[in-house]
A and B are shown apart, each in its own frame.
Chain A
Amino acid sequence: MANLKALYQEVILDHNKKPRNYGAVERASHHAEGHNPLCGDHLSITLAIADENIQNIAFNGESCAICKASASMMTVAVKGKSRADAEILIEEFLAMVTGKLDLNIPDQKEKLAHIGRLAVFAGVHDLPTRVKCAILPWHTLHAAFSSVAQVSTESEFDPMHAPIGDA
């Protein structure tokens, strides 16, 4: 928890004020909306995927700093990656933030091989009410992968409860 203020100072100063890939991808092939009704967070993610590769990704919406920074860093991390690699990263991120895997335990750290700079979000696990803020962008990205181009997702779809492997 002591790292939390550091997380804010380090990440928020950067990504909250200057979010990367903020906006929407034109002629997106994939799109999903994420909501956290508890705090009113709302996130829109658009992607251009060709040959299973994420050529472009953007997000926008209204959310708290943890959610926004998580979304910003996520777009940086997955841009240019294959869809399969992005799915691996989603699983690792969710496992880390929900506390299933701990970076401080060597055996478990191995399973978080792709986390890199995203490790800064590990401390969110200490605040159960904020875990949802950090994972909303990742659930939304996963949902976008299974979306079809130009189809509205304004339905009952709830990314908070979207199935996402074992994570």
Chain B
Amino acid sequence: MPKINNLSISTFDTPPFNINKIRADFPILNVQIEGKPLVYLDNAASAQMPQQVIDRLVRYQSTQHANIHRAVHYLSELATAEYDEARRKVQRFINAGEEREVIFTSGTTEAINLVMHGYGRKFIGAGDEIIISTLEHHSNIVPWQMLAEERGAKIRVVPVNDAGELQLDAYMNLFNERTKFVSLIHVSNALGTINPVKKMIAYAHSRGVPVLVDGAQAVPHMKVDVQDLDCDFYAFSGHKLCGPTGIGILYGKAALLESMQPFKGGGDMILSVTFEKTTYNTIPYKFEAGTPPIAAAIGLGAALDYLSAIGMENIAAHEHALLQYATEQVSQIPGVRIVGTARDKASVLSFVMEHIHPHDVGTLLNQEGIAVRTGHHCAQPVMQRMGIPATSRASFAFYNTRAEVDALMAGIRMVQKIFA
């Protein structure tokens, strides 16, 4: 078991952003790895959970738990009220127009699959075309391939330049009368590129095509307003937002959600069932069959409260400064190359080291207590486009510090020394 210690942190903040106070909220940051303080730079894979969210989960399980929408007893009504309140917190956080436009899923992957089944299988047929981009995570590729194979539809892919930026001219040229759907990643998990989705949505709409945005890497790092984006669907995960795993969100415009067929059949998604006919429930319940992850939803609500109290603008500013600092620092180390140099980037520093495989980098950094992700980041087409099998990826959260960036740089130099 890792030991706990209290590490001192050099400050890197401007009021009202108090990094020491924020770090004190995250018990896991006291864990030691290999006898060294944890430097957690794998936030794009999953963010850590503050005590406030842990406490909320404990309070729910200790004093409020029962199944929702089922019984008239006190706990069931209380749990239902808390679950509904969590939905309203999500609605406010992303500025959805209506509460019923927020559907709880198990995560981004399930949210995208829900749209593929509920919308795609109903409205996309033989010869139709779906536009995605080179930057997609596998979760926004595979469902559409499954649909394309089943329906005889076709996938068209928006190319990127060497910096990892989507090519908008090429995007617009992909549209034709068979284009039926667009599904785009908001922020690239592998490279950190922030895509101009608002512009891309506006263009798709001018061609009468609905757009899903995979926001798994965007929502944790910037203020996202789904009405301002005017996206038709927006998907993201709770655990990348300091919430629990097993909970995610699909936002969808009410009219579209109503037009869709259900994704999963079962309890809670029906109004009445006979052996002859089932009448489906209204949205969002039509898409929430079975007992949902109630505790996780409430935990996500607490996480959104926590992030809102800090302020997404403050979070974005802190992370931007960290990314800039890290980019400058790593650029000064010969033999290290940053992969993904888009003008607009969020919180991700992907890099390769000359003659050293990323897995060796990751293993040796771990010896220094530094957690980075190595591999293809579930985005093999991005790796193929960049002509590399894998990268090492440091991804920052608002609780990371300049000192941790320095630790990463020292780690990179140590790896070079071993391989020298």
Binding site for B on A (CB under 8 A): 1-2, 4-5, 8-9, 12-13, 16, 38-41, 62-66, 127, 129-130, 133
Contact = CB atoms under 8 A, between A and B. Distances in A.
A8 B418 contact: yes
B389 A65 contact: no
10 contacts: A4-B367, A5-B364, A8-B418, A9-B418, A12-B360, A39-B357, A40-B389, A65-B357, A66-B359, A129-B359
Contacts of B213: none
A8 B363 CA distance: 10
Contacts of A16: 419
B367 A5 contact: yes
B34 interface: yes
A39 B34 contact: no
| B364, B374, B376, B389 — most chain A CB neighbours (10 Å) | B389
Contact of B359 (A2, A5, A9, A64): A64
B360 A64 contact: yes
Given A64-B360, A65-B356, A127-B363, A39 B418 contact: no
B357 to A, nearest CB: 4
B390 interface: yes
Contacts of B357: 39, 63-65
Taking each of B357, B390, B418, which has the highest tally of chain A beta carbons within 10 Å of its own beta carbon? Answer: B357
A39 B389 contact: yes
Contact of A39 (B359, B364, B367): B359
Given A8-B418, A12-B418, A1 B359 contact: no
Q: Is the interface of A mostly helix, strand, loop or mixed?
A: helix
A39 B383 CA distance: 11
Contacts of A127: 363
B166 to A, nearest CB: 24
Interface of B: 34, 356-360, 363-364, 367, 374-376, 383, 389-390, 418-419
A38 B374 CA distance: 10
B418 A1 contact: no
A9 B414 CA distance: 11
Contacts of A38: 375-376
Contacts of B383: 40
Given A39-B375, A40-B376, A65-B419, 16 more contacts: A5-B364, A5-B367, A5-B418, A8-B364, A8-B418, A12-B419, A38-B375, A38-B376, A39-B359, A39-B374, A39-B376, A39-B389, A40-B389, A63-B357, A64-B359, A66-B363
A13 B383 CA distance: 28
Nearest to B376: A40
Given A16-B419, A39-B389, A8 B376 contact: no
Nearest to B357: A64
A18 to B, nearest CB: 13
A8 B359 contact: no
A1 B389 contact: no
Contacts of B376: 38-40
A4 B359 CA distance: 13
B137 to A, nearest CB: 16
Contacts of B418: 5, 8-9, 12-13
A39 B357 CA distance: 9
Given A5-B364, A5-B367, A133 B359 contact: yes
Given A39-B357, A63-B357, A65-B356, A4 B363 contact: yes
A38 B376 CA distance: 7
B420 to A, nearest CB: 9
A156 to B, nearest CB: 18
Contacts of B360: 8, 12, 64-66
